[in-house]
Amino acid sequence: MAELEIRGVTVKHGGITAVKDASIYAERGEIIGLIGADGAGKSSLMHAAAGVIRFEGEIVFGGTSFDSPREAERLKPKIGLMPQGIGLVLYKNLTVSEHLSFFSKIRSLKEDAALNDYKQRLLKMAGLERFTERPAGKLSGGMMQKLSLICTLIHRPSLLILDEPTTGVDPLSRLELWKILEEISESEGTVTLMSTAYMQEAEKMDRVYLFDSGTIIASGTAEELNETVKEYVYEPVACRSDRCIAAGHYTYSLDPLEAPHKEPTLEALFFINALKRGVEIPEIEVSERESEEPIPQVVMEAKGLTKRFGDFVADDHIDMELKSGEILGLLGANGAGKTTFIKMLLGLYPIDDGELVLLGRPIRSAKDRQGLKARIGYVSQHFSLYKDMTVRENLLYFASMHGIDAKKASSRIDRYAKELGFASYMDSLPTELPLGINQRFSVAAALLHEPVVLFLDEPTSGVDAIARSQFWQMLKLLKRKWGIAILITTHYMSEAEYCDRVVLLKEGRKVADDSVENLYKKHPAAKSFEEIFLHYYEDGR
Amino acid sequence: MIGTFFALVAKELIGFFRSWGLVAVVLYSFTLDIYITGAGIEMQAKNIAVGYVDETGGGMSGKILSRLHMPEFQKPVMFTSREALSRSIYNREIMVGLIFESDFEKNLKKYGRSSIDMLLDSVAATQSFQALQYLQNILLGYAHIGIPVELKIHKLFNPNATTSQFMAMAEMLSVITLLGVILTAALFVREKENGTWDIMLLMPIDPKLIILAKSFSQVLIIMGGVVIATGIVLFGVFDVPINGSIAAFFLLSFFYAFTSAGIGLFVAAVSKSMLQVAQLSILIMMPLIFLSGAWTPIHAMHPLLQKLSLISPLRYYIEGSESIFFRGTDFTDLWSYFAGVIVLGSVLYFYGFRKIGRLF
């Protein structure tokens, strides 16, 4: 019998089934990955395994079986759980060493030389030995996650449950987190269950389970899984049947195509699964804009933009230019200064230093912006729209705010709904929508007044693979048909592939700014963007 | 411009009616809450438990006791010893204790004067002192001191002197104040919490229009509540008279609703979360309500507080409403109340408006 066996576990949250009949097993020392979009059921299953929520089914760990949080109580000393969210388990006023002693005290560990040695070892692995006196609140996002991880490891758990420990963390810290995990599972034989938003991490895992709307659709090593879909994956070509999807750099088809095959990634499994289940994936369309207003060549020009919060410099003298007909990706880890930069451009934060020219007009005061608001579209993080109004009501409200007359507004709204594939959700509340639909509907709200520039703040976080590919398709069409400029922030380095040009931010400073092609030329050895960015991160240290 | 204004108002009203929890709170405040205050807060002596020890063996003491009856007093309970009576008062079973000493009747007959020991539980001060007054009146009736003056009392405006009518009205006015502040503040702070604040700032619309429309929508909700509360609770349940013009009352309420919305704007400007809104609202509201004369008549306050009450807009609103409902004051004679509400209201609204306007 395996060390960890999860047998037919179903988790319900107030009538809604989050996970259905999931089974997972893991041997000693294995790192098991749970992969899927937000709301696919990963967190629920991990919380069930950690014995903190109720579930149906059975979980056996190290020969001890439990089917309720009460019975799991006996196993708690053996379990370590790190919940989702950067620095969530930390106390920002406690120092690194105070954290370690706090966590060893609440675990009632014996304060002896062995514990001290172990602490030193953990600190060394995390690269935190020089920062033991620094308060957690003053650590970078990557350091916070490393500290959270070693605090979770302090009682030497034999089952380690990590909920998206690497999301939003810079690539270098992500590698270091992985090193800690690999070392611990090898030396301690710890079973690790972790979820991740990065498909590339799957390659390092002993086995991955792919989640799609509450069910496990596939499992195996990354290599095995890719093998199962290999025959369906092609170089990008147009599709002719509904058993085929063209998605960005790939085309997936159940029927053979006359095109060269391409090496698949795990994302392919989600597409193939959807095709096999006959899920209808709406084709994204965008028609020409109605307005004939000319778009200036240079939409935004920033020189030395700086934002300070007290001693902390969020953005340090950043230069940037955005041209029409261009998708500019602003990349960086959490806390790199992406959102702050966009908020400065929009006037939501005052600019502390530097010059900004928007749509040909130098911005010095709020008055300079008033006239420009009608030409700018903005989608904020987490797609904040009005939760108590339906999709249609939201869109009508935004249209009337932009002074679009009612008849024109409703025909435009109907057209967007059809083209962007959310027509069947018009009378639902935003909270009832799948994340991918919510994402496109939010963009529709920002497009109603046909802006000449679109600012998108982390629009792809947590969205499933299919919706994400539809989203990029939409942006590409907008660029081509409307010729507008698009500035998008993301912490998924792999999404750089979809941009024309990328700017990489690291701790408030710009470390790279080049077209995607040039970056590839400069780093011929790199297999993916992930690796290119790693160079810039390492150089900056 | 007008179209945008109404679109903004409509959006807030839709939002309000969709959040049934909020609707329930507002409905409760304007109906049950006012009813409970009116029916529950009883300042008059009523149903008072009386106990007595009679060492005289009846006669005069019996006559006096027979005058203590419903609704003011329960039937007096006899105790055999003073200790037993004291214990009962201590245990809160009895509120008023009377002790007729053995020489009570003898002294009365012999010297024409005597005394009764009276024990009062004065924790419920108003009620026990009213009970005392009743008893003094009863005894006075037996005293035959023969002062040739008789008091003929005419109770004006509230002939039955029922406190419930006034209490219900005062509570309604307090509810208007509290909800006006909280609803308005919540509207802005919810946008801050949900992250829609930024979206709102980026609308190509004059911020003044947004602020005005948002506060106006809440004034409408409050006015709806006022109509419900006046119709159902004040007139329907408590039979409050309406001697003046009801239109004047609604007009005064309308101005007052803007006043409390102004305070709400200020609260919204300085709060980041709904928790802060709740804390701040209570902090600001309490002195406003206490200084208004809703709970304590202004003439009974400390002179300094009396001066301070002049800057509570609720004071003018309460006095004005009282005049309209009970005194039936003419519309033209209400100007001082209108002036008080409008002047203080404009200052508060303008201040709140400026304060939140600076966030745009």
CA A193 to centroid of chain Cα atoms: 19
Asked whether residue B190 is assigned to any structural domain, the reply reads yes
3-class SS at A67?
Answer: coil
- Is some CB atom of chain A closer than 8 A to the CB atom of B23? no
Q: Does B177 lie in the same domain as B282?
A: yes
Domain ends where: B143, B178, B197?
Answer: B143
Q: Closest-CA residue in chain B for A371?
A: B204
Q: What is the pLDDT of residues A23-33, one digit of tens each?
A: 999 999 999 99
Residues B75 and B108 in one domain: yes
Q: Give residue B145's pLDDT.
A: 55
Do the chains contact at A343 and B196, CB–CB below 8 Å? no
Chain A residues in contact with B7 by the CB 8 A cut-off are: 397, 400-401
Domain co-membership, B137 together with B284: no
| A109 close to A154: Cβ distance less than 8 angstroms | yes
Contact: A346, B198; criterion CB under 8 Å: yes
Q: Is residue B133 part of a domain?
A: yes
- Within this chain, do residues B133 and B107 fall inside the same structural domain, yes or no? yes
Please give the structure tokens belonging to residue A300.
Answer: 């935004």
Q: Is B155 part of any domain?
A: no
Q: Which of A435-449, B145-159, B217-231 has the lowest mean pLDDT?
A: B145-159
pLDDT at A463: 87
**pTM for the predicted model, two decimal places:** 0.82
Residue B203 C-alpha, separation from nearest chain A C-alpha, in angstroms: 6
Q: What are phi and psi of A317, to 5 degrees?
A: 40, 70
pLDDT more than 70, % of chain B: 93
B205 Cβ under 8 Å from any chain A Cβ: yes
Percentage of chain A exceeding pLDDT 90: 66
Q: How many alpha carbons lie under 13 Å from residue B318 in its C-beta half-sphere?
A: 28
Mean pLDDT of A400-413: 92
Tell me which of B114, B143, B172 is where a domain ends: B143
Confidence grade of residue B195 (pLDDT, cut at 50, 70, 90): confident
Question: Which helix (H) or strand (E) is B95 found in, with range?
Answer: none
Whether B239 and B343 share a structural domain:
yes
State whether residue B15 sits within 8 Å of chain A by CB.
Answer: yes
Q: Tell me: do B133 and B260 sit in the same domain.
A: no
Same domain assignment for residues B217 and B329: yes
Task: Give the model confidence (pLDDT) of A529-539 as tens digits.
Answer: 888 888 888 77
> Residues B124-144: pLDDT tens digits?
777 777 778 887 877 777 766
Residue A289 has phi, psi (to 5 degrees) of -75, 155
Looking at the complex, report in whole angstroms how far the Cα of residue B6 sits from the nearest Cα belonging to chain A.
10
Q: Tens of pLDDT along A102-139?
A: 999 999 999 899 999 999 999 999 999 999 999 998 88
CA distance A407 to chain B (A): 14
Shared-domain flag, residues B223 and B334? yes
Q: What is the pLDDT of residues B234-283, one digit of tens each?
A: 999 988 889 899 999 999 999 999 999 999 999 999 999 999 999 999 89
Q: Which residue has the higher pLDDT, A97 or B134?
A: A97
The 3 state secondary structure assigned to B287-336 is: HHHHCCCCCCCHHHCCHHHHHHHHHCHHHHHHHHHHHHHHHCCCHHHHHH
Answer yes or no: is pLDDT of A289 > 90. no
Q: Which residues of A touch B194 (CB under 8 A)?
A: 384, 386-387
Examine the domain organization and report whether B173 and B289 are in the same domain: yes
What was the pLDDT predicted at A282?
82
Q: Which residues on chain B are in Cβ contact (under 8 Å) with A382?
A: 195
The CA distance from B11 to A397, in Å, is: 7
* Inter-chain CB proximity A348 and B205 less than 8 Å: no
Please state the rounded mean pLDDT for residues B114-122: 82
Peptide bond into A282 cis (omega under 30): no
Of B14, B203, B204, the CB nearest to A389: B14
Q: What pLDDT score does B101 carry?
A: 84
| Inter-chain residue contact B198 with A343, CB threshold 8 Å | yes
The dihedrals phi and psi of A272, each to the nearest 5 degrees, come to -60, -40
What pLDDT is stored for residue A338 in this prediction?
A: 92
Number of domains in chain B: 2
pLDDT of residue A413: 96
What pLDDT was estimated at residue A221? 94
CATH label of the domain that carries residue B75: 3.40.1710.10
| pLDDT at B146 (0 to 100) | 53
Which chain A residues have any C-beta within 8 angstroms of a chain B C-beta? Answer: 343, 346-348, 370-371, 373-374, 376, 378, 380-382, 384-389, 393, 397, 400-403, 449
Q: How far apart are the first and last CA of chain A?
A: 46
Question: What is the rounded radius of gyration, in angstroms, for the C-alpha atoms of chain A?
Answer: 24
pLDDT score for B162? 66
Answer yes or no: is pLDDT of B322 > 70.
yes
- On the question of pLDDT at A511 being above 70, the answer is yes
Distance from CA of A408 to the nearest CA of B (A): 15
The phi, psi pair for A331, rounded to 5°, reads: -110, 150
Put simply, the answer to whether B11 touches A381 (Cβ < 8 Å) is no
Residue B157 lies in a domain: no
Q: Domain residues for B85?
A: 50-143
User: What's the mean per-residue pLDDT of chain A?
Assistant: 91
Residue B71: cis peptide before it, omega within 30 degrees of 0: yes
Q: Residue B147 above 60 pLDDT?
A: no
CB-CB under 8 Å, B204 with A401: yes
Q: Does B21 touch chain A (CB under 8 A)?
A: no
Q: Is B204's Cβ below 8 Å from some Cβ in A?
A: yes
In this complex, how many residue pairs, one in chain A and one in chain B, have their CB atoms less than 8 Å apart?
Answer: 60
Decide if B303 is inside a domain: yes
Structure tokens belonging to residue A158: 């034999």
Q: Is B358 on the interface with A (CB under 8 A)?
A: no
Task: Tell me the average pLDDT of chain B.
Answer: 86
Distance from CA of A465 to the nearest CA of B (A): 26
Q: Rounded to a whole number, what is the distance in Å from the CA of A76 to chain B's nearest CA?
A: 35
List pLDDT tens digits, range B54-97.
888 777 788 888 888 887 788 888 888 888 888 888 888 888 88
- Please check whether residue B123 lies inside any domain of the structure: yes
Residue B75 lies in a domain: yes
Where do the domains of chain A lie, and which CATH numbers do they carry? Answer: 4-220 (3.40.50.300), 227-276 (no CATH), 298-539 (3.40.50.300)
Q: Is the pLDDT of residue A192 over 80?
A: yes
Best B202, B205, B206, B210 residue to mutate vs chain A (most A CBs within 10 Å): B202
**Residue from A372, A378, A386 to probe the interface with B (highest B Cβ count within 10 Å):** A386
Question: Among partner residues A348, A381, A401, which is closest to B205 by beta-carbon distance?
Answer: A401
Closest in B11, B18, B195 to A384, CB measured: B195
Instruction: Report the C-alpha gap between B285 and A481 in whole angstroms.
Output: 56
Work out the average pLDDT over A269-289: 88
Q: Which of A189-198, A291-300, B218-227 has the lowest mean pLDDT?
A: A291-300
Query: Is residue B136 located within the same domain as residue B166?
Result: no
Percent of chain A with pLDDT over 70: 100
Final residue of a structural domain among B77, B108, B143: B143
pLDDT at A421 over 70: yes
Mark yes or no for CB contact B7/A401 under 8 Å.
Answer: yes
Residues B113 and B185 in one domain: no
Q: Is residue B148 part of a domain?
A: no
Q: Are residues B174 and B70 in the same domain?
A: no
